[in-house]
């Protein structure tokens, strides 16, 4: 079971790294860096029937990266 979870986490981070635009410095970053800078960010999540909204602080340094990741990941087929 641990191997399956580890494989799923690796696949998720690999997908996120591929979705980061090439002009961003995180496009070639290691998984630990992506985890610290992208996945461990505090945000307020509000959920409705049609969408999920993330509200970041005004000082979030990677807010534009989140927007581009959301656009690129949502436009991909499953």
This model's pTM is above 0.75 = no
Q: b/e map of 15-41 (b: 16 or more CB within 10 Å)? A: ebbebbeeeeebeebeeeebeeebeee
Q: What is the largest CA-CA distance in the chain?
A: 40
pLDDT in single tens digits along all 78 residues of the chain: 999 999 998 888 888 888 888 887 778 888 888 887 777 777 788 888 888 787 877 777 777 787 777 777 776 665
Q: Quickly list DSSP for 37-56.
A: IIIS---EEEE-SS-EEEE-
């Amino acid at each position: 079971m641990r191997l399956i979870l580890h494989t799923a986490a690796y696949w998720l981070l690999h997908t996120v790294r591929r979705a980061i635009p090439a002009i961003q410095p995180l496009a070639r970053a290691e998984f630990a860096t992506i985890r610290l800078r992208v996945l461990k960010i505090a945000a307020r999540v509000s959920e409705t029937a049609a969408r999920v909204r993330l509200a970041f602080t005004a000082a979030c340094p990677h807010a534009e990266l989140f927007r581009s990741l959301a656009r690129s990941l949502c436009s991909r087929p499953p």
